[in-house]
Amino acid sequence: MAVLVEANSAIVRIQAVHDRYAGGWPAFADSVPNNTLCSDSEVARVGFMDPNDCQAFIGDLERHGLAFLREGRCQDVAVAIQTTGLTIPYDWLEFGYVEEHPGKELRPCG
């Protein structure tokens, strides 16, 4: 599974949203402050141009029951930056680049 990482991205475990975010997925989706929410079956991503906005969003996630860091380990939320990757190693998330092939037709998945 994969989600797009552009600029500064907060990546959240969907199961954690269902288990611990006050109000569950509907409340989480309503809390997203812009139109960048995308998800697969395991993670959701929200993007920000300004890292301070990303940090503020993570603070909001924590106030609603999710944990970013606990005892130096990442829990429910990750941060990825488009140019440099994950800000902290996560045992539940990997970062990678997809090579674009000019002139090659892209087909929808599924």
User: Residue 54's domain spans which residues?
Assistant: 8-86
Binned at pLDDT 50, 70 and 90, residue 98 comes out as confident
Report the half-sphere exposure of 96 (CA within 13 A, side-chain side): 7
Please state, as a whole number, how many other Cβ atoms lie within 10 Å of the Cβ of residue 62. 15
**Largest CA-CA distance found in the chain, in angstroms, rounded:** 48
Locus of tokens 């990825």: 80
Domain assignment present for residue 95? The answer is no
Residue 77 forms part of a structural domain:
yes
Partners of 80 in beta bridges: 9, 86
String of DSSP letters for 37-93: -EE-SSEEEEEESSHHHHHHHHHHHHHTT--SEETTEE-SEEEEETTTEESS--TT-
In this structure, is residue 97 part of a structural domain?
A: no
pLDDT value of residue 14: 97
Instruction: State pTM to two decimals.
Output: 0.84
Residue 58 falls inside a structural domain: yes
91 in a domain, yes or no? no
- Which tops the pLDDT comparison, 68 or 92? 68
Segment 31-89, tens digit of pLDDT? 999 999 999 999 999 999 999 999 999 999 999 999 998 877 779 999 999 999 888 88
Q: What is the pLDDT, as a whole number, of residue 110?
A: 43
In a domain, 73, yes or no: yes
CB-based contact 27:17 (threshold 8 Å): no
Q: Is residue 105 in a domain?
A: no
Number of domains into which the chain is organized: 1
